Chains A and B, each alone.
Chain A
């Protein structure tokens, strides 16, 4: 067999991914691989003149070219042309694409080396990198207690396997618990969710850990050791009877997270009446006792002796699990970034999530539309005293989505929830004018287009055109927009503006990804193994993702993906075997395997 001379062309990384290609370690490693005669950098040759590169190839008698880099595929056609011009086989241009095999994380130099090695030996990476199978601990950890986490937990627990459900906030339910209705069927969101929440709370096989955070994950797939920080609730979960006397006497008030900061809660509080677990807790960060060392009003009034312990400390629990499902969800776009719409400046410019709370029968005003008013301490809240009937309401789509200045992607759910909100508003305020301003209506799912047509028939003005600004004159807000289909400029007087905010990855998603050894894309959404054929698994073995932490997703899709993640977990438990993640393979393992295979090929 003739000795093949190989060149490695190292190309520039694309935006947003970490640079390995110019990492001296990878380059030095590649130079020592057998058969490598030269390394070209992207700065060495011009990618416009294939003939010149062909002359170089001929001069050095190169037989093969390996293109290494994050976006290696982009340069393949050029080098193929050069190889043909040099009289070689264009099939000897081999890609070592880092992004494709998940080497986009910070400490992924070893992976990058392995990918280059496989390419040099001429073995596909998938053939050399086959992880071994490991035994599985049947317990599962689910991170995040939204609808995805709840669904996955219930699926696994109903087959009598133990699930640890860890939730950061004091109650499970997530964003769905905040919504009033679901599109397109207009079912009550709480009626779907709360039975599931209660089932989770009462299930024998679900160990619910609310107000807790995953701190550290170690071990191998099938046997992860997880450290969980259980924050002190300061009110005993076992003995609290949920009477609420402590909250009545508590002197501190802060905006309520559950009501999207439109109402106030105390330091001793329950997030919402249907919370699971339905017990009170004390917010350490604002409690007068913690801050000043004296108060204890809640302890004095509590009817159960010893239930409130203001000295309770956080506690770290260690558990062993075989699989982990990540279902951390999303956050809504911060509308203050759009200065032109005046959110945060004009009180009656609301985000959609605030309207969801306002319009909810269990919300701040019992489902009646109210103005945002300032209370004595200067907090902007919805109060039952400010209930009124707005004459006209504007709903502006695509806030923070499909915008190169903010998020380039479509948030997928905003069109539909805006139409739903318009319907709910029309139902409550039949005489009011409701205007929807959209760029494109994306009614993409089962029954969605029909829902859109129904909304149009209900007398809601659906106007094509993205408003440029909202201005306030006295009590009136003015929305300026081009009505593209009507062919005119409109300056609409409205009483209330709703901004349909998009969805974004959680701010700590990168931290979680690093802790679990999974990857995120350039926006911060968790990266799946393969978007089309394997949207549930990740590059780490035994770690699946579910719900809106992978990308914008509506409730049906989230539930479906959560069930899919549960099925992956149950599959591994049933077989008692789990494939180690490709990530866990060491460089030597892949290299040895690649060498073996290349020997077989040569023989």
Chain B
């Protein structure tokens, strides 16, 4: 595969959080240490090589960074302190911006100011729409409070209005995600002409499911014992997030009620569980990134912080909203709901298709594509099965 050398690639990647990888002297220690490396997938050294040589095309079709579990073994034993693990994460950010065909992601990753501006603009749009389509609880407080002491939230901000907005936003997000994943497939599988993946091959890798849901099997090989906690809390956070997302976007009628339901009702119970998941996760990842006790939290790009902060603010306003509602404080409920949406919408619109959140989609798909690639390599006898 002939390609043009991009001498500026190294400098461009510094904007995605990369450290000084000119340190690397290509000893291969990282590849040999890595427990996910197998024949056909040599990272991280091969990726470092692509970066150092400026092979943009190879880098863009490279699937390896998505397979990294960031256990940090390679960085810890690197004889040059070149931080291969952090480099993989920087390449991930770069790849997110590559898969995003709109080009917005590239802008947001490269400029802190633009990212903040995008969030602010979206927040203002949400505020205008909210003020236009909802009513402020003015006058006598009593008429906004129901018989059980809870705020009549649907009277000020009807669930139908909010739900319509939710569905519109979700539709946009799904469109972006689907097209981005398609572009990812195009880059990784289609552009690599050496791979011959037949139609039937796409249906086969069901064994892969076990791989997605048992990453602890892989972590068990690592030296870093703390990683199990990390993995468990990450899963808890992700599931809580997904649960909350599904409830709010698709079942808002059931979730946003005027009646204050008893505490053991599934509506409140599920809400509490996912809130705890979100809070525990946020606190854990925030402390990790602050005290930098683990290899995978030593280096933070500003987008890592943005995601954490927006998620925290969303959760916090969500909790406040809930208590203002059940204790009958209509004005505060109205304002908190506004702030909640002003944080939530930018978080979803910016993070899901264009930034850190998208790894939730790309990572499972990358495992799928890697499996396809491996099957193709085995079929073409380029590598032997279980050859490592």
| Contact yes or no, A466 B79, CB < 8 A | yes
Q: Does A480 contact B (CB under 8 A)?
A: yes
Q: Does B27 contact A (CB under 8 A)?
A: yes
- Chain B residues whose C-beta falls within 8 Å of the C-beta of A403 in the assembled complex: 79
| Contact yes or no, B42 A489, CB < 8 A | yes
Taking a contact as CB atoms closer than 8 A, the residue among A402, A404, A469, A487 that contacts B32 in the complex is A469
Taking a contact as CB atoms closer than 8 A, the residue among A467, A480, A482 that contacts B42 in the complex is A482
A-facing mask of B29-51, CB < 8 A → 1, else 0? Answer: 10111000111001001000000
B-facing mask of A461-483, CB < 8 A → 1, else 0? Answer: 00011111100000000001111
| Contact yes or no, B79 A404, CB < 8 A | yes
Q: Does A440 contact B (CB under 8 A)?
A: yes
| Contact yes or no, B79 A402, CB < 8 A | yes
Q: How far is the CB of B246 from chain A (nearest CB, A)?
A: 41
| Contact yes or no, B37 A489, CB < 8 A | yes
Give the distance in Å from the alpha carbon of A404 to the alpha carbon of B38 in the complex: 27
| Contact yes or no, B45 A489, CB < 8 A | no
Q: Does A511 contact B (CB under 8 A)?
A: no
A-facing mask of B83-120, CB < 8 A → 1, else 0? Answer: 00000000000000000000000000000000000000
Q: Does A491 contact B (CB under 8 A)?
A: yes
| Contact yes or no, B45 A484, CB < 8 A | yes
Q: Which residue of B lies closest to A403 (CB)?
A: B79
Q: Which residue of B lies closest to A402 (CB)?
A: B79
Taking a contact as CB atoms closer than 8 A, the residue among B25, B33, B38, B78 that contacts A439 in the complex is B25
- Chain A residues whose C-beta falls within 8 Å of the C-beta of B25 in the assembled complex: 402, 439-440
Give the distance in Å from the alpha carbon of A480 to the alpha carbon of B37 in the complex: 11
Q: Does B26 contact A (CB under 8 A)?
A: yes
Taking a contact as CB atoms closer than 8 A, the residue among A402, A480, A482 that contacts B45 in the complex is A482
| Contact yes or no, B79 A480, CB < 8 A | no
| Contact yes or no, B39 A404, CB < 8 A | no
A-facing mask of B262-306, CB < 8 A → 1, else 0? Answer: 000000000000000000000000000000000000000000000
How many A residues face the partner with a CB closer than 8 A? Answer: 23
- Chain B residues whose C-beta falls within 8 Å of the C-beta of A469 in the assembled complex: 32-33
| Contact yes or no, A405 B79, CB < 8 A | yes
| Contact yes or no, B29 A466, CB < 8 A | yes
A469-B33, A488-B39, A489-B42 given as contacts; is B77 within 8 A of A340 (CB)? yes
| Contact yes or no, B32 A482, CB < 8 A | yes
Q: Does B28 contact A (CB under 8 A)?
A: yes
| Contact yes or no, A467 B80, CB < 8 A | no
| Contact yes or no, A404 B31, CB < 8 A | no
Q: Does B210 contact A (CB under 8 A)?
A: no
- Chain B residues whose C-beta falls within 8 Å of the C-beta of A398 in the assembled complex: 27, 79
- Chain A residues whose C-beta falls within 8 Å of the C-beta of B81 in the assembled complex: 404
Q: How far is the CB of B332 from chain A (nearest CB, A)?
A: 47
- Chain A residues whose C-beta falls within 8 Å of the C-beta of B42 in the assembled complex: 482, 487, 489
- Chain A residues whose C-beta falls within 8 Å of the C-beta of B38 in the assembled complex: 489
Q: Which residue of A lies closest to B80 (CB)?
A: A404
Give the distance in Å from the alpha carbon of A506 to the alpha carbon of B37 in the complex: 40
Taking a contact as CB atoms closer than 8 A, the residue among B26, B29, B39, B80 that contacts A468 in the complex is B29
| Contact yes or no, A489 B79, CB < 8 A | no
- Chain A residues whose C-beta falls within 8 Å of the C-beta of B3 in the assembled complex: none
Q: Does B388 contact A (CB under 8 A)?
A: yes
Q: How far is the CB of A602 from chain B (nearest CB, A)?
A: 49
| Contact yes or no, B79 A468, CB < 8 A | no
- Chain A residues whose C-beta falls within 8 Å of the C-beta of B31 in the assembled complex: 465, 468, 482, 489
Taking a contact as CB atoms closer than 8 A, the residue among B32, B77, B78 that contacts A465 in the complex is B32
Q: Which residues of A are at the interface with B, using a C-beta cutoff of 8 A?
A: 340, 398, 402-405, 439-440, 464-469, 480-484, 487-489, 491
7 A-B interface contacts by CB (under 8 A):
A398-B27, A402-B79, A404-B81, A465-B28, A482-B37, A483-B28, A491-B388
